[in-house]
Chain A
């Protein structure tokens, strides 16, 4: 393989970064049919490849522990999903619980299947600027395409590694992502008045925070009778 004069083999690709997984893109191996080989050569190569594959899996079969497989329900406490994993969408909140979403609705407009609904105050009384009211995310229709995260001009969205989301009713997969309805962290800082900022962050609606909108009224989504009143 190494003695090939094919042009393909000389291409060196830069190392690529896959989050935690450091991997180098290796130049494609010259294909069996690309070079002129005798029939017996092709047969020999094929048989060798097949046998090598079979022996590899047989070694796994004999020692299953050498396979890198996560024993999922057992390792629930220590399980760390990869950085690039696209689980639940979430609005980034800083340590004070403030978000950076201005309610510009770019994500809503660019969402391919309308899984995001952003409602906003036309004019917030304290800052005099528009502020976020509700950031609704419908996981039941989301394809996890990541476009909303990419287009957000304020870098306030992220895909978390949270993937355990099975429920018995798809209406439970409609979330309100913002912990409070109000101005962004920047605007709250500009206010200068800590008391006023705190008042701005007080919950104004019943279903605030990243909880399922199971009790909330929303266009097109019927109200769900959970039987447990509002605590769900």
Chain B
């Protein structure tokens, strides 16, 4: 038993040692993610691999639940500041117990299923919704090594998996046996599928610049400077496209037509109550973090500090934080700023009409995205961007 335990602990170390002995160049080796460690451990003991998978799963679930609590609190506070409302000041000092109180309230609410609805799909929809979020969270690179899985087709994975969220909403709306839910779900389907194209096109610009689909390599390619300023206007336009499209993907104002509480009495989640309702919102808040984190990764250099090419003195000042804190600090700061910007949008812009929404996507964003993509290709081929030797 003790031997087995020892094996369990030492397995990944041994595997690593073996890999080093095999002569893999240490400078080329990526930081090892949870899935890498699990794969290494699999050579030695299946239980060690299971342990690592469990660690990854638990970490993601903890992140989802903590995000749900923290984000709803931040959202309330930001909204309260924008509108001078004292609402989120009452429960606990500065309202910090508000999210907890909300959670307890939702726990005790009755889970109602519509009588003529499709019960199985109805129950499955919120789970689908949150599954998409969890799958996306798995690829979010927080810091070197703090990432569940880092696959070589990361960007394709992101584009594929973010589509599952639409399924959850469509299922919820369809199975509710309610015209508002159905209308909300149809709007959601039309909106999210349309904007996914623009989102992917915006990301493709960065893929072209960095020449890789692997998320961690995209970050590493920004060692000399973040793509948003190294790629000139092309990257800035792509960033704006990404910001707009991800707002629509997140169903946040000004693109919150699937909910549309004033015209659809709640949209696709009209019939949901209690925990099932909160699952939808947990997914939405976690998605807010995921899309900000991905924007950080693609355009703002992920966990990397602000560097300018070869200017050693400047770069050293930026590297002043110890290597353990530095990635978390930079990633956290960039993410927080982006999340704030998305919340800022919410309390600034009025909701669009459905035809305006569709026109914006198909007649404005998509042509601009394609033109920008072609322009980006030209920029990459001619090496017109800053520090082209870095890639």
Q: How many residues of A contact B (CB 8 A)?
A: 14
CB-based contact A57/B82 at 8 Å:
yes
Q: Let me know if A65 is at the binding interface, CB within 8 A.
A: yes
User: For the complex, what is the distance from the CA of A69 to the CA of B347, rounded to whole Å?
Assistant: 15
Give every chain A residue within 8 A of B347 (Cβ-Cβ). Answer: 57
Give every chain B residue within 8 A of A69 (Cβ-Cβ). Answer: 83-85
Q: Let me know if A58 is at the binding interface, CB within 8 A.
A: yes
Q: Which of B81, B86, B349 contacts A61 (CB 8 A)?
A: B81
User: For the complex, what is the distance from the CA of A56 to the CA of B80, rounded to whole Å?
Assistant: 16
In A36-91, which residues have CB < 8 Å from any B CB? Answer: 50, 53-54, 56-58, 60-61, 64-67, 69, 71
User: For the complex, what is the distance from the CA of A50 to the CA of B84, rounded to whole Å?
Assistant: 22
User: For the complex, what is the distance from the CA of A153 to the CA of B78, rounded to whole Å?
Assistant: 50
Give every chain B residue within 8 A of A65 (Cβ-Cβ). Answer: 84
- CB-CB contacts of B74-92 with A at 8 A, as 1s and 0s? 0000101111111000000
Q: Give min CB distance, B298 to chain A, whole Å.
A: 22
Q: B interface, how many residues as a size bin?
A: 10 to 19
Q: Let me know if B344 is at the binding interface, CB within 8 A.
A: yes
- CB-CB contacts of B55-87 with A at 8 A, as 1s and 0s? 000000000000000000000001011111110
CB-based contact A71/B86 at 8 Å:
yes
User: For the complex, what is the distance from the CA of A42 to the CA of B359, rounded to whole Å?
Assistant: 15
User: For the complex, what is the distance from the CA of A56 to the CA of B82, rounded to whole Å?
Assistant: 10
Closest residue of B by beta carbon distance from A57: B348
CB-based contact B81/A64 at 8 Å:
yes
In B340-381, which residues have CB < 8 Å from any A CB? Answer: 344-345, 347-349
Specify the main secondary structure of chain A where it touches its partner.
helix
CB-based contact B344/A58 at 8 Å:
yes
Q: Which of A53, A66, A67 contacts B348 (CB 8 A)?
A: A53
Q: Give min CB distance, A17 to chain B, whole Å.
A: 26
Q: Give min CB distance, B325 to chain A, whole Å.
A: 29
Q: Which of B80, B84, B347 has the most CB of A within 10 A?
A: B84
CB-based contact A60/B86 at 8 Å:
no
Give every chain B residue within 8 A of A56 (Cβ-Cβ). Answer: 348
Q: Give min CB distance, A230 to chain B, whole Å.
A: 35
Give every chain B residue within 8 A of A50 (Cβ-Cβ). Answer: 349
User: For the complex, what is the distance from the CA of A60 to the CA of B83, rounded to whole Å?
Assistant: 7
Q: Give min CB distance, A62 to chain B, whole Å.
A: 9
CB-based contact B349/A67 at 8 Å:
no
In A82-123, which residues have CB < 8 Å from any B CB? Answer: none
Closest residue of B by beta carbon distance from A67: B84
Give every chain B residue within 8 A of A66 (Cβ-Cβ). Answer: 84
Closest residue of B by beta carbon distance from A47: B240
Q: Which of A58, A61, A65, A66 has the most CB of B within 10 A?
A: A61
User: For the complex, what is the distance from the CA of A54 to the CA of B86, rounded to whole Å?
Assistant: 22
Q: Which of A53, A60, A71 contacts B82 (CB 8 A)?
A: A60
User: For the complex, what is the distance from the CA of A56 to the CA of B347, rounded to whole Å?
Assistant: 11
Q: Give min CB distance, A44 to chain B, whole Å.
A: 14
Give every chain A residue within 8 A of B348 (Cβ-Cβ). Answer: 53-54, 56-57
User: For the complex, what is the distance from the CA of A58 to the CA of B340, rounded to whole Å?
Assistant: 11
CB-based contact B344/A64 at 8 Å:
no
Give every chain B residue within 8 A of A71 (Cβ-Cβ). Answer: 86
Closest residue of A by beta carbon distance from B90: A73
Give every chain A residue within 8 A of B84 (Cβ-Cβ). Answer: 60, 64-67, 69
Closest residue of A by beta carbon distance from B85: A69
User: For the complex, what is the distance from the CA of A67 to the CA of B86, rounded to whole Å?
Assistant: 12
User: For the complex, what is the distance from the CA of A65 to the CA of B81, rounded to whole Å?
Assistant: 9
Q: Give min CB distance, B253 to chain A, whole Å.
A: 12
Q: Give min CB distance, A107 to chain B, whole Å.
A: 29
Give every chain A residue within 8 A of B82 (Cβ-Cβ). Answer: 57, 60-61, 64, 67
Give every chain A residue within 8 A of B85 (Cβ-Cβ). Answer: 69
CB-based contact A53/B349 at 8 Å:
yes
Give every chain B residue within 8 A of A67 (Cβ-Cβ). Answer: 82-84
Closest residue of A by beta carbon distance from B347: A57
User: For the complex, what is the distance from the CA of A66 to the CA of B345, rounded to whole Å?
Assistant: 19
Give every chain A residue within 8 A of B81 (Cβ-Cβ). Answer: 60-61, 64
User: For the complex, what is the distance from the CA of A146 to the CA of B282, rounded to whole Å?
Assistant: 41
Closest residue of A by beta carbon distance from B80: A64
- CB-CB contacts of A156-194 with B at 8 A, as 1s and 0s? 000000000000000000000000000000000000000
Q: Pull 30 A–B residue pairs with CB atoms less than 8 Å apart, ordered by A.
A: A53-B348, A53-B349, A54-B344, A54-B345, A54-B348, A56-B348, A57-B82, A57-B344, A57-B347, A57-B348, A58-B344, A60-B81, A60-B82, A60-B84, A61-B78, A61-B81, A61-B344, A64-B80, A64-B81, A64-B82, A64-B83, A64-B84, A65-B84, A66-B84, A67-B82, A67-B83, A67-B84, A69-B83, A69-B84, A69-B85
B interface residue numbers (CB < 8 A to A): 78, 80-86, 344-345, 347-349
The 6 closest A-B pairs by CB, nearest first: A67-B84, A64-B84, A69-B84, A57-B348, A53-B348, A64-B81
* Known A54-B348, A61-B82; 5 more pairs at CB < 8 Å: A57-B344, A58-B344, A60-B83, A64-B82, A67-B84
